[in-house]
Amino acid sequence: MWNRFSLFVLMMVAVILPLSTSPVRSEIFRIAIPAGSESVFATQIGAIRLALEHAPGNHELQIESVKGLTQSRVLTMLRDGAINLSLAGYSREWENLFLQVDYPLTRGMMGYRVFFARPELADHISNVQSIDELKRFCIGTGNDWLDTAILEANDLCVVKAPQGDALFSMLRHGRFDMFHRALHEAYVEQLAPTEDMKGLVLVPSLILRYPYDFFLYVQKNDTQRHAILTEGLARAYESGDFMRHFYSNPGMAYAMDQIQSPTHRILDIDNPEMSDQTRKINPELWGGF
User: How many CB atoms are closer than 10 A to CB 65?
Assistant: 12
Asked if 37 and 64 count as a contact pair (C-beta separation under 8 A), the reply is no
For the stretch 40-65, pLDDT in tens is 898 999 999 999 999 999 999 999 99
φ, ψ of residue 150 to 5 degrees: the values are -65, -45
User: How many CB atoms are closer than 10 A to CB 62?
Assistant: 12
Q: Which H or E run contains 160?
A: strand 157-161
Residues 6+ away with beta carbon under 8 Å from 200: 116, 117, 118, 119, 168, 171, 172, 179
Q: Mind spelling out the 3-state secondary structure of 113-137?
A: EEEEECHHHHHHHHCCCCHHHHCCC
Cα separation, 243 vs 253, whole angstroms: 12
pLDDT band per the 50, 70, 90 thresholds, residue 4: low
pLDDT at 271 over 80: yes
Asked if 127 and 117 count as a contact pair (C-beta separation under 8 A), the reply is no
State what percent of residues in the chain have pLDDT above 90: 77
DSSP three-state, residue 36 = coil
pTM of the model: 0.84
pLDDT at 7 over 70: no
The alpha-helical segments, DSSP class H, found in the chain are 4-15, 17-20, 42-54, 71-80, 92-97, 119-126, 131-134, 148-153, 167-172, 183-191, 223-239, 241-248, 250-260, 276-279
- 6-10, 144-148, 157-161: range with lowest mean pLDDT: 6-10
pLDDT band per the 50, 70, 90 thresholds, residue 21: very low
What pLDDT is recorded for position 160? 93
What pLDDT is recorded for position 2? 44
What pLDDT is recorded for position 76? 96
Nearest to 117 by CA among 152, 154, 168, 183: 168
Nearest to 113 by CA among 35, 57, 186: 186
pLDDT band per the 50, 70, 90 thresholds, residue 217: very high
For the stretch 190-201, pLDDT in tens is 888 888 899 999
Cα separation, 181 vs 177, whole angstroms: 14
